[in-house]
């Protein structure tokens, strides 16, 4: 249990000793630091229960608190707010504990197994801006949940099964009809075949084929036919498709690596298809499928729906499998192979309806038991300065690599040539660019849209990734320089700023809890900025390395180390890497 929670419990006991029973006592950080560091607002509620005046209750509680010795400047404000300040000695001792073990400043939760579906890249299509947010938010949520004690299994859930694949295979067939994949008489091994198509070709082929299918009905029909063949594992087509997936996956992996995003599972929609037959049987048994114009659908309306709820398309009339059905099959697969307590989906908010349909259908067919939480974690879009989803200058979809390049252009200008040697500059600029992009992406509440502004993201001042990196590197260098000095204890504070830092450190468990509960990293990014800028104020106010008072110096360096450790821990939660220098 975190020490701040222990303190909370201690105060609860003290209130009991004063003669009052409280259920959920919460020590609030005070908004009025001149009156106290913390505030206890329970006297008002207790007054109703005990039918006495809140001020009298507050006075009795204060009397008990005074006996304890850990508190100072106890006073009562207004109708009965109790203001509490920790003695310097006690505050210092709490921080010393955190210095010794950062886990005393984190509240662990009861273990739970969670599958986190994020990333969602589509095979044979370049990763685009839309995939950035799923990767960033998903990876950070995974790390946050793990820090708080959950077991989380991240699955990339590649989009590898729909019509796009049929289109790509069709277009390859048009361009290279002589390939043995299309030769019915070929009986050899396909794994030996070299495909004359690179990932870059695929990225050109898909948009081409997609556009063509919109104008050419026969072409579209052919693509549907091929999609059906692939989904039915027809020799040749199925093998070519597998090859395409393999080529594309390599490239996708590279981009995710660059973003420091790592999946435990690299399954795709197609992997769930082994479960399709079983899925269909379950849906038939539970009697939830209806025929409609040759297709199979599931009615997922509920009585109290306020908005229209279209039926879920289980199987199209042309027998190809829908996106909805691959998601249902994936639920069945996860249930059988992993048996998680929860499945979280970190996906663009515009897919909310899709997931609502899928979850309802899954519940109707009892694919998972009622206590398994299926949760949609939607996020807003990254927009251009026009307020619309970010596009390239010619109006096309911006690739993720292109986006990173734009930020890198800005961070390159800000790398200090005196600290970073020439040969390392490009690499550092890239690391800082990724940090800039990630931090900016995780700064607003996940559901909120935000504007892509590389210049602002790369700024060395303000709420930015580079500001945090720069400050954290400076803390590290200070600790290096002071490494001969003995640290490990906080016995003194000189200014209010230091105490403010200490109190901010004690807020960490609360911040982490809030972030995990809201499935959003904005509290963490804001907190990092708050803690770091307070620290920088302190850093500017004092000459730490030449301080004469050695106890004070030791306290200062210990404080620095704690802030540094917290920054490193939280940057790691955000999956942001810290370069040596910048």
Residues in contact with ligand ARG by CB under 6 A are 117, 120, 122, 157, 159, 327, 345, 347
Q: Based on CB atoms, which residue is closest to ligand ARG, 327 or 523?
A: 327
Query: How many Cα neighbours within 13 Å face the side chain of 6?
Result: 9
> What's the min distance (Å) between Cβ of 162 and ligand ARG?
9
In whole angstroms, how close is the CB of 48 to ligand ARG at the nearest point? 49
As measured in angstroms, the least distance from the Cβ of 375 to ligand ARG is: 12
3-class DSSP state for residue 246?
helix
Residue indicated by tokens 């008072």: 549
H-assigned helices in 443-549 = 454-457, 465-481, 496-506, 508-518, 522-541
Nearest residue to the partner ligand ARG, using Cβ? 120
Question: Nearer to ligand ARG by C-beta: 97 or 391?
Answer: 391
- What does the block give as tokens for 507? 């807020």
Q: Which is nearer to ligand ARG, 375 or 577 (CB)?
A: 375
Nearer to ligand ARG by C-beta: 132 or 428? 132
Q: State the minimum distance, in angstroms, from the CB of residue 265 to ligand ARG.
A: 12
| CA-wise closest residue to 362 among 288, 278, 294, 265 | 288
- Using only the alpha carbons of the chain, give its radius of gyration: 29
Distance in Å, CB of 117 to ligand ARG, minimum = 5
Please, what is the minimum distance in Å from the beta carbon of residue 308 to ligand ARG? Answer: 21
Phi-psi region of 451 (alpha: psi -120 to 50; beta: other; left: phi over 0): beta
- Looking at beta carbons only, is 321 or 428 nearer to ligand ARG? 321
CB of residue 327 to ligand ARG, shortest distance in Å: 5
Coil, helix or strand at residue 161 = coil
Q: Which two tokens stand for residue 142?
A: 């995974």
Distance of CA 83 to the CA centre of its chain: 36
> By C-beta, is 12 or 249 nearer to ligand ARG?
249
Burial of 142 (0-12, 13-18, 19+ CB in 10 A): buried
Cα–Cα distance for residue pair 46/353, rounded to 1 Å: 45
Secondary structure (DSSP) of 285-352:
HTT-EEEETTEEEE----TT-SS--PPEEEE-TT-PBPHHHHHHHHHHHHHHHT--SEEEEEEEGGGH
Q: How far is the CB of 266 from ligand ARG (least distance, A)?
A: 13
Give me the least distance between CB of 163 and ligand ARG, in Å please. Answer: 13
The backbone torsions φ and ψ at residue 290, rounded to the nearest 5 degrees and listed phi first, read: -125, 145
Residues listed for the chain: 582
Residue placing its CB nearer to ligand ARG in the complex, 362 or 433: 362
Rounded-to-integer distance, Cα 150 and Cα 445, Å = 22
User: Which lies closer to ligand ARG via its Cβ, residue 159 or residue 389?
Assistant: 159
Q: Considering the complex, state which of residue 122 and residue 553 has its C-beta at the smaller distance from ligand ARG.
A: 122
What end-to-end distance do the CA atoms of the chain give, in Å? Answer: 37
């Amino acid at each position: 249990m975190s020490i701040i929670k222990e303190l909370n419990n201690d105060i609860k006991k003290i209130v009991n000793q004063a003669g009052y029973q409280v259920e959920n006592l919460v020590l609030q950080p005070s908004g009025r630091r001149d009156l106290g560091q913390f505030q206890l607002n329970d006297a008002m509620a207790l007054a109703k229960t005990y039918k006495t005046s809140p001020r009298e209750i507050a006075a009795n509680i204060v009397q008990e608190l005074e006996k304890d010795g850990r508190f100072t400047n106890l006073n009562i404000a207004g109708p009965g707010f109790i203001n509490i300040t920790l003695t310097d000695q006690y505050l210092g001792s709490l921080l010393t504990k955190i210095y010794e073990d950062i886990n005393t400043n984190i509240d662990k939760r009861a273990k739970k197994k969670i599958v986190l579906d994020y990333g969602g890249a589509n095979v044979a299509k370049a990763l685009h801006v839309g995939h950035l947010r799923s990767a960033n938010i998903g990876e950070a949520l995974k790390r946050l949940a793990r820090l708080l004690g959950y077991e989380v299994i991240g699955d990339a859930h590649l989009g590898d099964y729909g019509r796009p694949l049929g289109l790509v295979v069709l277009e390859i067939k048009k361009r290279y009809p002589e390939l043995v994949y299309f030769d019915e008489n070929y009986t050899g091994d396909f794994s030996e075949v070299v495909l004359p198509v690179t990932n870059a070709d695929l990225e050109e082929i898909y948009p081409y084929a997609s556009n063509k299918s919109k104008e050419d009905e026969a072409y579209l029909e052919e693509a549907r036919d091929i999609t059906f063949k692939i989904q039915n594992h027809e020799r040749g087509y199925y093998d070519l498709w597998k090859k395409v997936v393999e080529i594309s996956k390599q490239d996708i992996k590279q981009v995710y690596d660059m973003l420091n995003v790592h999946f435990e599972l690299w399954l795709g929609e197609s992997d769930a298809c082994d479960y399709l037959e079983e899925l269909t049987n379950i849906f038939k048994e539970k009697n939830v499928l209806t025929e409609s114009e040759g297709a199979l659908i599931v009615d997922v309306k509920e009585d109290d729906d306020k908005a229209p709820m279209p039926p879920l398309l289980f199987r199209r009339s042309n027998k190809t499998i829908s996106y909805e059905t691959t998601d249902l099959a994936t639920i069945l697969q996860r249930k059988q192979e992993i048996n998680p307590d929860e499945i979280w989906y970190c996906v663009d908010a515009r897919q909310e309806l899709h997931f609502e349909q899928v979850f309802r259908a899954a519940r109707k067919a009892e694919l998972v038991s009622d206590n398994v939480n299926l949760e949609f974690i939607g996020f807003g879009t990254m927009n251009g300065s026009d307020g619309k989803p970010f596009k390239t200058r010619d109006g096309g979809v911006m690739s993720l690599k292109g986006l990173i390049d734009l930020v890198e252009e800005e961070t390159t200008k800000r790398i200090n040539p005196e600290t970073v040697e020439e040969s390392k500059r490009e690499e550092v600029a890239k690391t800082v660019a990724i940090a800039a992009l990630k931090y900016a992406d995780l700064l607003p509440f996940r559901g909120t849209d935000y504007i892509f502004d590389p210049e602002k993201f790369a700024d060395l001042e303000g709420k930015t990734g580079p500001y945090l990196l720069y400050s954290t590197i400076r803390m590290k260098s200070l600790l290096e320089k002071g490494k001969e000095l003995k640290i490990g204890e906080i016995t003194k504070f000189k200014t209010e700023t230091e105490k403010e830092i200490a109190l901010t450190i004690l807020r960490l468990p609360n911040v982490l809890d809030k972030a995990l509960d809201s499935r959003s990293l904005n509290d963490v990014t804001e907190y990092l900025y708050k803690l770091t800028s307070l620290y920088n104020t302190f850093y500017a106010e004092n000459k730490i390395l030449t301080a004469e008072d050695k106890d004070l110096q030791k306290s200062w360096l210990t404080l620095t180390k704690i802030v540094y450790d917290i920054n490193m821990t939280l940057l790691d939660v955000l999956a942001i890497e810290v370069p040596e220098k910048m």
